[in-house]
Amino acid sequence: MYLFVSLEPMFEEKETTGDLTAEIDATHRQVCLAQRRLLSLIAEVDRSEAWVDSGSRDTAHWLSMRYGISTWKAHRWIAAAYALERLPRISMALERGELGLDKVSELARFASPETEAELIVWAKRVRCATVRERGDLERRASIREEREAEQSRFIESWWFDENRRYGLRAEFPAAQGAIVDRTLKRMAEQIPVMPGEEDESFSAARGADALVALCSARLASEPDPDRATVVVHAQLDGLDKGTHGCEIEGGTVVHPLTVRRLLCNARVQTVVEDRAGNVVGLGRISRDPSAWMLRQVRYRDRGCRFPGCGTRAFTQAHHIVWWRHGGRTDPDNLLLVCSFHHRLVHELGWSVKREPDGTVHWFHPNGTRYRAGPSPGADEHAHENLLLTASG
């Protein structure tokens, strides 16, 4: 007795599996080619600053908000976009699908034209995590550890330019200086960069912002509210119209727009005067929300409510109806925003509105509504028209 078994279905299954794998490989190559093009476009966007006026503080912020990727990944892509311009072999490996975008982004951190050929062979046989670990080691090896000789410590400060500016000079022993230097630099990396200050030449300005942020955090925790209250003297018509300087008690003069932002989230009391200097009104002392209220706002909003931002660093409770206009300090009138987008509202003309259902809308200085995410493509418009036609 003979038993015949047909092997045809088995061969068909293998052939089908092979075809599927080949199709996936081909699709992967197409994706990698598109990703290489994407990196080239990212470099062009960064050079041309095409993200300006989009409610973003830099290219990474723009990528993160517009395409829903992490800021960490956005920075990696930007760095890789520039690095691949001098790494033709790794660039070609990505275009051909020989290396994926994750490995290429990590290789771009430390590869050179002299080492890229060897690194491609190595990267193909190791995990992406191994490539990342090597990049971390290469970067740590380049950190400068030498410090200047120890000197006597001191801090000197003074007002100048008719009390419009504040000068500060300090020297520390090397060990203490290293702590100050690292803290300010670390803080400066986290503080949102204001429009027009993206260039490296503004690093000193960002260092100053970092020092102010540290001091502001310390004042916010001050248990004595009277000692932490900033008193502002303003003319009756100037504060409303945004004209005339406002004087902070102690002699410093600031712009009314800056005062409005202080009134929103700092301990500030306004002394309203007429042109002769007579006090005609005494404003309320504006305080941050209570600890429990701020916890509720942070829990509700999770992060900055600007569309696509969502950062939890340097967030502040913004009064939607401004404090100086009678806005209450309660959860319904508070919105969590980062310091960057807070400045957009108070000093760069943006506005925000919160609907009763909790939906938040942001508006450009010209009043047009800000739309988050990529612009709809032709296919999407066609799909929308098809749906409208069908529903009609």
Residue 346 predicted with pLDDT over 50: yes
Residue 392 has what pLDDT? Answer: 46
Pairing between β-strand 252-254 and β-strand 268-273 as defined by DSSP bridges:
unpaired
Whether 352 has a pLDDT exceeding 80, the answer reads yes
Confidence band for 126, pLDDT divided at 50, 70 and 90? very high
Least confident of 62-76, 115-129, 368-382: 368-382
Q: Could you tell me the pLDDT band of residue 234, with boundaries at 50, 70 and 90? A: low
Residue 151 has pLDDT above 50, yes or no: no
Place of tokens 């311009």: 85
Return d(Cα 147, Cα 175) in angstroms, integer.
8
For residues 92 and 195, which has the higher predicted lDDT (pLDDT)?
92
* pLDDT score recorded for residue 259: 62
Between CA 258 and CA 342 the distance in angstroms is 11
Task: Output the six-digit token pair for 53.
Answer: 């006026």
Residue 1 scores a pLDDT above 80: no
pLDDT band at 267 (very low <50, low <70, confident <90, very high): low
Distance CA 308, CA 311 (A): 9
pLDDT for the residue 348 = 83
**What are the start-end ranges of the H helices in 109-199?**
116-124, 128-141, 174-190
* 182, pLDDT greater than 60: yes
**Least confident interval from 171-185, 239-253, 317-331:** 239-253
Q: What is the mean pLDDT of residues 298-318?
A: 84
Domain boundaries, the chain: 21-139, 154-220, 226-282, 291-363
Where residue 40 falls among pLDDT bands split at 50, 70, 90? very high
Structure-model confidence comparison of residues 355 and 290, the more confident one: 355
Q: What is the structure's pLDDT at 148?
A: 41
